[in-house]
Amino acid sequence: MALNQRSPRPSGGSHRSGHGSRRGKGGAPPPQSPPTSPTSPIQHLAQHLGGYTPQRQPTRLPSAGSSKSPAPVAVSTGDPCVVCLVKRCRDSRYVTCGLTCAEKLCTTGGANPNLCDYCHRSPKIAAQNQCSDTCKAAAKLACLMCKSRPKHRRYHLCGKSCKEIAIRQTPLILEVPKGHVTYEMVENKFTTSWKFPNTRIPIIQRIYKIIENKLFLQPYDKYKKAVGNEVFRYHGTTRKCTLGATGNTNLCTNTTCPLCSILKTSFKTSLANPSGAFGAGVYSSSASNKAYSYTGAGAGAMLLTKVVLGNIRKVTGWNEVMSCPPGFNSVVFERQNDCLNETIVYSDDAIRPVFLIMFQ
């Protein structure tokens, strides 16, 4: 994970994961709901699926700077479905007639690509994807699957229908449009996590939300509940395909591609190198610059991951431990005042990818 720093590391490919790696979250008024505590950054960013069915009553379009989801652009139930153009929309909250057309909308878009990609009713403004400021504001907070309804609160999808459509296609990566609140959040986090001085911060070209099914996520959720202490960490890796390039969201079939292997099976400590700096574990970093050094100068990819650290054993030098010490769940080396942070976990269930960041 070093930036041309000396360190005892074996040969390999990615940011030392198990996939070709280097080193190895009765009349009386009803009672008022108690106030909720502020959402932590990890809770705010880590919501990886829909999961909720939105309330049926519409909400007002938020004012500038608001983080609340806007209401869908008003659609009459007499308007035709924007996909089949024959049947009528099921109600004013949708632009499609049913689930079949809703799935087509999610995968191929509306019938007319020249229309606004949010309301699908009016022509796009020149050089933009929406027809008006109203739709542009709504698209900023739109579901990443259908792109025509507001995402549900902190989640990235709008509700049960889009979640089910997404799950059927897992492992799936959904491109996050530039200007979307999720894009801005991931981009800002990457920039503020760049800790190495006097180095240029690379420009992010594309960001994708990673969608996985329950079998992929349940072991992690169970481990998180038992161990606790969830954080975000960066993991740099290489690829042997063009996944993440403009228009390509299809994982390759090359079993030696580090990136696609991680997205298919997550990280595998069984494939990690036991002679790594801290043994056979999955390595990540709180410093985006550290993980970037394993992307092949940006030719590879970076994963923003969720990691469960539990009880941390802090070390001060290379090879101080070569496996997870008894009574601990992770190892952290705060190298150069954390500018080259090393975070190592030794359980497959302790880490999952959440966002894919591309630079080329």
Per-residue pLDDT 10s for the chain (360 aa) are: 444 344 444 433 455 555 544 444 444 555 554 444 444 444 444 343 333 333 434 434 344 444 454 555 555 557 899 999 999 998 888 899 999 999 999 999 999 999 999 999 999 999 999 999 999 999 999 999 999 999 998 899 999 999 999 999 999 999 999 999 999 999 999 999 999 888 899 999 999 999 999 999 999 999 999 999 999 999 999 999 999 998 899 999 999 999 999 999 999 999 888 888 999 999 999 999 999 999 999 999 999 999 999 999 999 999 999 999 999 999 999 999 999 999 999 999 999 999 999 998
pLDDT given for residue 227 in this prediction:
96
The per-residue pLDDT for 6 is 41
* SS3 at position 175: strand
Q: pTM above the 0.85 mark?
A: no
Q: Match 């996939």 to its residue by tokens.
A: 19
Residue 62, pLDDT score: 42
The Cα–Cα gap between 46 and 119 comes to 28
Q: Give the up-direction half-sphere exposure of residue 212: CA atoms within 13 A in the CB hemisphere.
A: 22
What pLDDT is stored for residue 16 in this prediction?
A: 52
Burial code (b: 16+ CB inside 10 Å, e: under 16) for 21-56 equals bbbbbeeeeeeeeeeeeeeeeeeebbbbbbebebee
Query: Domains in the chain, start-ordered, CATH in brackets?
Result: 60-150 (no CATH), 181-358 (3.90.228.10)
Amino acid found at 260: C
| Sign of the dihedral defined by the CA atoms of residues 178, 179, 185, 187, in that order | positive
pLDDT score recorded for residue 73: 52
Instruction: List the one residue out of 148, 57, 50, 151 whose CA is nearest residue 94.
Output: 148
What tokens does 134 get?
């109203």
pLDDT number for residue 90: 84
pLDDT, residue 54, reads 39
Cβ contacts of 314 within 8 Å, gap of 6 or more: 331, 332, 333, 334
Give the pLDDT confidence score for residue 19 in this predicted structure: 54
pLDDT at residue 83, rounded to an integer: 95
pLDDT, position 41: 45
Q: How far apart are CA 43 and CA 62, in angstroms?
A: 22
Helix (H, G, I), strand (E, B) or coil at 275: coil
Beta strands in 238-324 (DSSP E): 282-284, 301-308, 312-315
Mention every residue, 6+ apart, whose C-beta is less than 8 A from residue 31.
none
What is the C-alpha separation between 298 and 335, in angstroms, rounded? Answer: 23
